[in-house]
Structure formats: C-alpha cells, structure tokens
Chain A
C-alpha cells in the first residue's frame, strides 16, 4: 500500500518544529510539556541524563561544557562538541536527539517513519547529507530535504491558492529568534528554485531584546536613582542586579510584542522592590514608545536590507522585477521591520503566512505530496520487545514530597534508554541509559494522584513494550492519620429560578483530610435585625449532582435576625470557610460582609446534627413538592408516577406527625431515624421525577435555542454568533446526559445571551420602560420615580438607547422587592 510521507520538520538553529499534512490541512504539533509549538534546538548532558529542548536551554549559558546549542551551523564539519559528561558529540548526533524529541510531539502516537527536513539555502552537499544522516540516525526510514525558503514559499502558495506565481520571483526574508536569512526564489520551468541567498548567523529577535534593555530600559532606571554601573551590574553573573537583567529581557520581549499593535508599552516592575545602590526605592513603571524601539533596531533592520540589495544587484535585478518580500520568522511581526523593508526596497511585503511556523507548514505540504517508499523494515526495531524483563519497586501511596522508583531489568540492555515523565507536565527525567538496576527520585505533588509515564526506548526513540508503562503514586492518601472523603461535601443554596435548591460542591469525593476551602454566597433575602428570619448554611454529604434532600445532612449553621447587629441586605456577600479535620469534624465559618460579624460552628464527625425544627420544615417542603409533582404527573397523563407519588405522600404525612411529636430537645435517636426516613422518601421522589426534570430541561433548552438563534441571526454580533455556536457545539455533551442540571446550565448560557442582545434593542427597551411606567404607583420613591420617568421619556424621543437602558435599571431598583423578584418563591436557605 502506498502512503505519503506527510511529516515536515523545521530543524532550526534556535528552534525546531514538526507538522503533519492530513487531508489537505496541516497541523503543527505542540510540545506535550507546556504546549509550545517550538522545541529549542539544544541538548544537555547533565549528570547521567540527556535533556532536549526547554530543559536543556536553561543551562546553555551557565553550563556550556555539558550543553550543546546552535550546532546546526556546524553540520557537515568535523568539529565535535565536547561535553564533560558524555564525551564528544557530532552535530549529526545532536541533531538526531532534537529530531527524536520532536517525534514525541505527535500526540496521536503514530510512528513517524519518514519526514521532510528543511535546510538553509546556504547548505552545501556535505551539510545536506549530514542533515539526512541525522534524520536516519533519529530512526526515520526515509528522509527528504527541502530548502527553507522553498518551504516558506510552499506555505504561502498553499494558503493563497488563487495567486498566480508563474513566471515570477520573490524574496524570502527570514528574521528568526537567533539568525537572519534572505533568499531569492524563482519559478524555473515550473519548479521553485533558490537562485541566491545571504545571511547573518548572529542576528535575531533575542539580540533586539537585549538592545531594548541596554538602550532604553536600563538608562530609564539609571536616571531615577543612584547607580554607578547598572548595566555592568546587570550583566555580570555576580552583579547585584543580575536577576533584574533577566526580568528586563522578558519584559522587553513582551513590550516588543505589545508595540506591534500599540504606540507605547509599559514595563511594570512593581512586583519586585526596585532599589538603587543607596537603598532608595525607585519608581518601577517604565515606558517604551514605538519610536524608541524603532530608533534602536534601525541599524539591525537596515543591515538586513543591505543583504537583500546585494542579492538584487548580484542578479542584475530591479525592485520591480520582484513580486513581493515574503516575511518569515517571529521578528517580522514588528511593524517597523515590515515598513522599513518596504520603504528601502520599494517592494511590497507579504505577511500572509504565520511567520513562526511557515517553514514547518511548507515542509508538511511538500511531505503530503511525496510518497513514502520505505516500509521494508517496518517495526524491525521492535523485534526485541520481549527480550526485556522488568521488576519494579515503589510505594503506591506516599506521604513524602518525593518517592524513589527502582527497577531490576534483565535482558540485552545495550543501546536502550529509559525515560520517566509526569503526565501533568511537571517532571521529565530525560533520556537515561538503561542498566540492570535503575532508580529515579520522583517528585510528588501534594494531595494529588501522580501519574508517571514509564518508557523504555531504543536508539531511534521507538518505545518497547515491556508490559509496564505507568507509575501511579497517590500522595497524601491512605496514611495512618489521614483519610479520604467518602463522598462529595456540598453546600445547599437556593435556586430561585426553579423554585428549588441546588448543591454547590465544596470538597470532592476522595479529597484528602484534613482539608480547607473558601467559598462565597449571597444573601437571597434581606434579614431584618431582631426578626426571626434566618439564613441557613446547610452542609450535606453525597453526590453533588443529586438533590440536597437525597444527601445526608452534616449540619446547619443558622443565623437569625436576632443574632445580627444590623440589617443584612439582600445581595450582601457572605464569606464561608469550610474545614474538615482528619477525624472528619466539619467546621463552618461565615463572615457577614454587611455586618462585620463572624459565626462559626463545628459539626462533629461522630454526631450528626439534626435540628428537629429544620427537619419539620424540610418535611413540609417535601410534602409541597410531592403534591405539586403529583398534580403535574396527573395533568400530563403519567398516572403511574402520580400514584407512586401519592403513596409517598402518605409516608410524608406519617413523617409529619412523627416530627410533630418530637420535642426540640429530644435526647433519643428518633430525630436521626426520622431524618433517614425523610431522605429515603426524597430519594424516591427524586428518582420518580428525574426523567420529567430532564424532559423539562431539554424542552426548555430547545425552545431557548430556537428563540436565541432567531435573535442572534437578526440582531446578534460576531461574538454572540460565536457564543451560540459554542453552546450548540457542545450540545452532545449535555443533551444525552442524564443530568438535568447540565442541560439547565446550557439553557442559562443561552438566556444570558438572549438578554445581552435584548438589552440593546430599542423596541425591547421601550417596551420595558413603558411597562415600568405603568407600575409607577408601587415604586418606593415617587419623586425620584417621576424624575427618572421624565428622563426616560427624553431618552426615548432622542433615541438614546444606552441611556434609556440605564434609566430602566434605576427604575427597577425602585420597585419593591416583592414585585422585583421573578417569582414569589419562599427561600429555603436564604442564600444564593
């Protein structure tokens, strides 16, 4: 079966990328650690590890004896890079490490058996062959080479398919992070050909960042305080301001990006205490303008233009002979670079491709059209899979910050490596030579499940199946003192719209004790000082997706009007702190922002708190619910459900009389028995009505969707269209679920969208205003009401819709609370 190569690799001097052609599209793969598209082309040999990419780059400057970088420029030479710990390495070997690492980016797990690798236009035959050799050493069965300017041109041609490039020529201007290359590309007899090229191996974006720090930021700081040699102190390893140098380099890079769209950018160093040599704190907000940036990079940009001019002259061309200058490389995002090139060259710049990944993308397009003719040795390297036997030892549960993993390995281990990485992206052992005994200290994340991937690899980075591939260690679990939560712990809040309650998850099942968290709720109704009104902070145990009445109560912190020192207004926030000790005592503390008071209560793990009065009110609530559900079932022809509910109603009536005979200070365990009974009845009600709730939720969703779709089509903006598409796109995830709340959440999203649109429609705002005018008699402040109505009338006639919207909002605030509320629900907990 014939297949295409499909994989394209930009093996760069500073950074490398891998992309794949698939069904006409190209995907650029991301590093599974950190999700960046690019991998620094750096290899480090530290201790007994081989590290490639970001981890290696960190040590480039500080441990040069063990770290190799920029080796691409030495390809094809006999020069070897001597490392202290791993001996001499050739540029080919080092490039092979980078290529092997890139294969790990391919998340689909498919083997990369062949690839198109790009090379600079300046590469001669020996250098090109060396690159090919690196590809084969990395385990590719077939390697094709492609010149970088051609790859960039292919990326462009595939993006702008309608453009006719026949009989034309152009310049590819590649200004990357560390190098600059320029090439003249022409179509000769239907084929893309590089005619001429120039370059500077030591000019790139990072040089521009250093210039920003040295010429703009550091002088600004120096002017604000007393410094003898700020730049020297920053650049010296032992200098007082060495850390500031690195911070400023990052800031310069961000500012440079910001200046691509704005005329000035601020560098804010307020996060650190910036003091001069005499200890005086200096103002840490620096400003950099676009013109300042342009001033200091002018020389560098002009030097690149000079190189282009050399090419043009050398090939006896005039500017008008060239179709465009195709911009590639991150530094071409800078508007000045584009402007200056256009200005000095008199040729239009072409910025239609993504300059950061164009070369890899172009290589993938090329690979998509090239047939893979290897395959003879398919899976050959995996022949020895069964020859390895491994026995592992490690603690699956640990209280430590680090756990030692060790293994005994038997078999032919020559040329094999192992690698362990945390799946969460926080740890990577790097490649280590496989030996008969291996040990590795694995850092553990506190209170978390730590999943490590364990791989044994051959010299080409193929994974060998040895029957063991993952290390799972639970930190902080199953200890003698600590234990896990058997169920979710939830807070009960009111769900005003559905006249019901909702559960808000506080702690997840399997969380490790002790544990603590904070949450905020709002007061759902005003509690007057001295009254019997109350709010109830109810904590229950059980699945968060169920209803509160079906879960086990842990306790209720009740705050009444008698306990507060001033009225607690509706909408005031309450800060709640929940704590569960190792012995499962729950402490709930509530800080009332409105009154400045704090209330706290401990619910002992051994004794469940059941307040007979609350129990009675819950039973009453249950009775109401069953009655309305039964009525609803009868009306909708679900007689079977109605009958079952009637039976349950009987049970509830029994419960009610039993509760009635329970005194508030009852010392027996009757209250617990009754609570248990109540919960079982509630569970049955919940199950009987679950499908109905789901149907109702789905119907509400369908009607909201229809309504919002029309509204969005008629009056929505791009963002709203996108929001609607987003909700519809995830429809499958909730519409087929058995959880009504998920459907309800999607409906609320649509409702929000609907309101956003309605609130700017003149007819809706006018209608709302007129409705409020009709209800003026019941407003709290008649004088203010009249003023607002007059103002509203003026806005209406002058068609100031935004102002009318504000007037409407103010008028609503004047309505008494009973009228304002969307319905007359009696709040159950008093918190929302």
Chain B
C-alpha cells in the first residue's frame, strides 16, 4: 500500500494566501469603503486558476477525526467543539471536486455551549 505523493506548493503561495485571508478578515471586521474586497476576490480567483485555494473553517464543528485542522482547545470541555477562531485557513490544492489539503488550518476551538454564551 503506497501513500499519495506529497504535493509541493511553493511556500510563497501559502504565505500570500495566508496574508490574503488576513486581509479579507480585516476588511470584514473594520469595513471596506474602497471595496478592496473585490481585489481580494480577484487574487483568490487567480490562485484558484493555478489550482490553489483556501477555505475558512470558522464555525465548523471539530472532532478528533479531522486532520485538516491543527487545533488548540480553549475552555475546559472537549465535546461539541466548534472552530471559534481561525489563525490560518485551510489551504487546498486541486479542483473544487478533487483536492488535497496542503496546509492545515490553525484554529482555536471551543465547546459550542461556551460559544453560545458569548
């Protein structure tokens, strides 16, 4: 039984996409009077055409069987976890229909109950 080969995505791509994700988050949080989101979308499209794209796992449920996230648990409970904060997004290579994780998302997860309280 052999493993699928390791996919080589240039580090620069990953770095740019991580920053792009940060820009996207900042624009959503602090407002975007100049419509820079449009440029962000363009850059994302350009990368997608190259076969690399990112996904924001915010709010998704987290279980120990997920291997696309590098999670840190905040709070005491380890059950009913959801992604509370995303430090880096999940980066995948390939097509939407068939892709592989090339960068695990770095996230903080917490129990849904705590999340609901806040």
Bound CA–CA A455/B66 (angstroms): 18
Bound CA–CA A547/B114 (angstroms): 57
Closest Cβ of chain B to A444, distance in Å, is 12
Number of interface residues of B (CB under 8 A): 46
Find B67's partner among A63, A427, A510 (CB 8 Å cutoff). A427
Q: Is the CB of B75 within 8 A of A469?
A: no
Q: Is the CB of B75 within 8 A of A428?
A: no
Bound CA–CA A266/B6 (angstroms): 32
The residues of A that contact B12 with a CB separation of less than 8 Å are: none
The residues of B that contact A295 with a CB separation of less than 8 Å are: none
List residues 65-87 of chain B with CB under 8 A from any CB of chain A: 65-68, 70-76, 78, 84-85, 87
Q: Is the CB of A247 within 8 A of B102?
A: no
Of the listed residues B1, B29, B75, B103, the one surrounded by the most CB atoms of chain A closer than 10 A to its CB is B1
Give the interface segment out of A53-61, A649-657, A818-826: A53-61
The residues of B that contact A58 with a CB separation of less than 8 Å are: 64, 70-73
Number of interface residues of A (CB under 8 A): 61
The residues of B that contact A242 with a CB separation of less than 8 Å are: 74-75
Given contacts A32-B3, A107-B5, A108-B2, A247 and B64 within 8 Å (CB-CB): no
Give the interface segment out of A160-168, A182-190, A267-275: A267-275
Q: Is the CB of B101 within 8 A of A448?
A: no
Bound CA–CA A396/B45 (angstroms): 31
Bound CA–CA A273/B25 (angstroms): 10
The residues of A that contact B64 with a CB separation of less than 8 Å are: 44, 46, 49, 51, 55, 58-59, 430
The residues of B that contact A62 with a CB separation of less than 8 Å are: 73, 76, 78
Q: Is the CB of B65 within 8 A of A107?
A: no
Q: Is the CB of B65 within 8 A of A428?
A: yes
Smallest CB gap from A427: residue in B: B65
Question: Is A30 positioned at the interface, with any CB of B under 8 Å from its CB?
Answer: yes
Give the interface segment out of A330-338, A386-394, A418-426, A690-698: A418-426
The residues of A that contact B67 with a CB separation of less than 8 Å are: 33-34, 54-55, 421-422, 425-428
Find A35's partner among B22, B97, B102 (CB 8 Å cutoff). B102
The residues of A that contact B7 with a CB separation of less than 8 Å are: 35
Find B22's partner among A34, A270, A430 (CB 8 Å cutoff). A270
Smallest CB gap from A47: residue in B: B64
Bound CA–CA A272/B28 (angstroms): 10
The residues of B that contact A425 with a CB separation of less than 8 Å are: 67-68, 100-101, 104
List residues 38-53 of chain A with CB under 8 A from any CB of chain B: 44, 46, 49, 51
Bound CA–CA A192/B117 (angstroms): 61
Bound CA–CA A32/B68 (angstroms): 11
Bound CA–CA A447/B75 (angstroms): 34
Smallest CB gap from B41: residue in A: A518
Q: Is the CB of B100 within 8 A of A448?
A: no
Find A448's partner among B45, B87, B99 (CB 8 Å cutoff). B99
Closest Cβ of chain A to B48, distance in Å, is 9
Bound CA–CA A114/B64 (angstroms): 31
Closest Cβ of chain B to A722, distance in Å, is 12
Find A238's partner among B68, B76, B85, B87 (CB 8 Å cutoff). B76
Q: Is the CB of B85 within 8 A of A104?
A: no
Q: Is the CB of A427 within 8 A of B100?
A: no
Question: Is A599 positioned at the interface, with any CB of B under 8 Å from its CB?
Answer: no
The residues of A that contact B1 with a CB separation of less than 8 Å are: 109, 453, 455, 463, 469
The residues of A that contact B71 with a CB separation of less than 8 Å are: 58
Q: Is the CB of B96 within 8 A of A447?
A: yes
Bound CA–CA A598/B4 (angstroms): 45
Closest Cβ of chain B to A126, distance in Å, is 34
The residues of B that contact A34 with a CB separation of less than 8 Å are: 67, 70, 101, 103-104
Q: Is the CB of A250 within 8 A of B100?
A: no
Q: Is the CB of B75 within 8 A of A426?
A: no
One digit per residue, 1 when the CB lies within 8 angstroms of any chain A CB and 0 when it does not, for chain B 45-66 equals 1000000000000000000111
Given contacts A35-B7, A250-B106, A519 and B72 within 8 Å (CB-CB): no
One digit per residue, 1 when the CB lies within 8 angstroms of any chain B CB and 0 when it does not, for chain A 401-438 equals 00000000000000000000111111111100000000
Bound CA–CA A105/B4 (angstroms): 10
Question: Is A246 positioned at the interface, with any CB of B under 8 Å from its CB?
Answer: yes
Closest Cβ of chain B to A52, distance in Å, is 11
The residues of B that contact A46 with a CB separation of less than 8 Å are: 64
Question: Is A734 positioned at the interface, with any CB of B under 8 Å from its CB?
Answer: no
Given contacts A54-B67, A250-B87, A448 and B76 within 8 Å (CB-CB): no
Question: Is A595 positioned at the interface, with any CB of B under 8 Å from its CB?
Answer: no
3 shortest A-B CB distances, which residue pairs? A109-B2, A425-B101, A426-B68
5 A-B pairs, CB-CB below 8 angstroms?
Answer: A54-B70, A58-B71, A107-B4, A237-B75, A424-B68
Supply 7 further A-B pairs (C-beta < 8 A) apart from A237-B76, A423-B100, A508-B95: A32-B3, A242-B74, A424-B68, A425-B68, A511-B97, A518-B41, A575-B38
